[in-house]
Amino acid sequence: MPDASIPAAPIDVRALREREFPHLDGHPPYLNAASVAPLPERARAAIDAHNARRSAVHQLRSDDFEPTLQRARAAAARLVNASPDEIALLPNTSYGINLAAQCLPLEEGRRIVVSNLEFPANVYPWVQVAKEGRARVDVVPTDALGRPDEDRLLAEIARGDVGIFGLSAVQFATGWNADLEKFGRACREHGTWFVVDAIQALGCIPVDVRAAEIDVLATAGHKWLCGPFGTGFAYVRGELVERMEPRVVGWTALESSADLTACVRYRWELVEHARRFEVGTQAWQDVAGFTGSVNLLLETGIERIRDHVFALIDPLAAWLEAQEDATIVSPMEAARRSGVFCFRLGDTERAYAALHRARAVCSLREGAIRIAPHLYNTAGDIGRVMEILERRDGW
Ligand SMILES: Cc1ncc(COP(=O)(O)O)c(C=O)c1O
């Protein structure tokens, strides 16, 4: 158990890049983990090795199948402080949010509440529930900078008629990092299911599903988790799994499919665990890569990654504070900030175009430049961004 009173040593980014991210060297800064992060070498090696055995097909072994999934579920569970039995391996966040929308028990007359300006993956699955006539969806206005309004959201939940509250742990266009424990407590108190889209948090910001009393959490692997495209998972709280029947049913969800030598003795007996939400054959090779990526982050330490990312952002934030025409959209208080750092500066689109021309990779989201550094970035990467922004005659 690490001693919390001893600060962790900073990440040795040089060594990490050499080992896991060698292709970043010799290029302009890559600051776009909020869109896509690079795949570490160990993940690529795991995928390649799996595919190589598949090519030389006699080399495929039993360990390439179910144990590969078990290792991925275990890694995902460690990441969010869950049990592997509460993890379903899914292709993306949308699938996990739809799973919540379609399978969570919802009493008649109960509402669904989300904040305005959520990423669409955390909106349309709820709209679908409304279209089916199963619940009304209420969208709560944000503050002037587009961040969720915590007080108004809590007040909605406190009305006691909210069936499901859906929230991103970290907002994609402001980086607002929700107080999940506070929302979780309010949801538990008022009989509301708490559904969290964690894709912009996991891998950079610690998330503890138990402490935050989350009912369903969904993520994909390709952003801060540095995993392959088409990987991800949902956490479904253990006690809830039994109460939720999958609406999209894969043969793997049924106990009677486990024995492939005699699987046509059909019986409607769902597997006990969150595995019941997995649908059919998995992309085994990518799941193997996903485990590699998540284990790299766990070995590095999520708090350590967070501290590293905040330290990278700080000088840019300080420089922006001193600019008359800059607005920092992201909260900077320790508890509300995240790895997603958004700001406006003068003619923001022109500033972004200058970064783009210099091939510094970041994003333009909802009128703000979004910088998302990760464990592999250096102070030099952020320094280069500041250099470009400082030279306004070059925009
Ligand atoms: C908050 C949030 N949720 C979900 C997604 C992606 O959803 P999916 O994994 O279904 O593609 C993104 C970004 O693409 C996002 O920023």
**Which tokens in the block code for residue 226?**
């540095």
CATH classification for the domain delimited by 50-299, as one of 3.30.70.890, 3.40.250.10, 3.40.640.10, 3.10.129.10: 3.40.640.10
Total residues belonging to the chain: 395
Q: What is the pLDDT of residues 26-56, one digit of tens each?
A: 999 999 999 999 999 999 999 999 999 999 9
Per-residue pLDDT at 393:
87
Closest CA to 216 of 75, 338, 71, 103: 103
CA 310/CA 304 separation, integer angstroms: 10
Place of tokens 């890559």: 30
Q: Which residues line ligand 1 (CB under 6 A)?
A: 92-94, 119, 121-122, 168, 172, 197, 199-200, 220
Low-confidence stretches of the chain (pLDDT < 70) are 1-7
Atom index in ligand 1 nearest the CA of residue 220 equals 9
Domain covering 13-39+301-394 assigned CATH 3.90.1150.10 in the classification: yes
Residue 148 tokens, joined: 């969720």
- pLDDT confidence of residue 5: 63
Domain layout of the chain by residue ranges: 13-39+301-394, 50-299
- The pLDDT of residue 4: 56
Give which of 215, 229, 231 is closest to 166, Cα–Cα: 215
* Closest by Cα among 165, 154, 156 to 104: 165
Q: Pick from 92, 119, 176 the residue to mutate for probing ligand 1's pocket: most ligand atoms within 8 Å of its CB.
A: 119
pLDDT score recorded for residue 9? 87
Q: What pLDDT is stored for residue 394 in this prediction? A: 85
Residue 175 vs residues 147, 149, 209, 342: alpha-carbon distances, Å: 8, 14, 20, 7
Residue nearest to atom 4 of ligand 1 (CA): 121
Nearest atom in ligand 1 to 92's CA: 9
Q: Rounded mean pLDDT of the chain? A: 97
Q: Rounded to the nearest 5 degrees, what angle is found at the Cα of 149, between the Cα atoms of 146 and 153?
A: 135
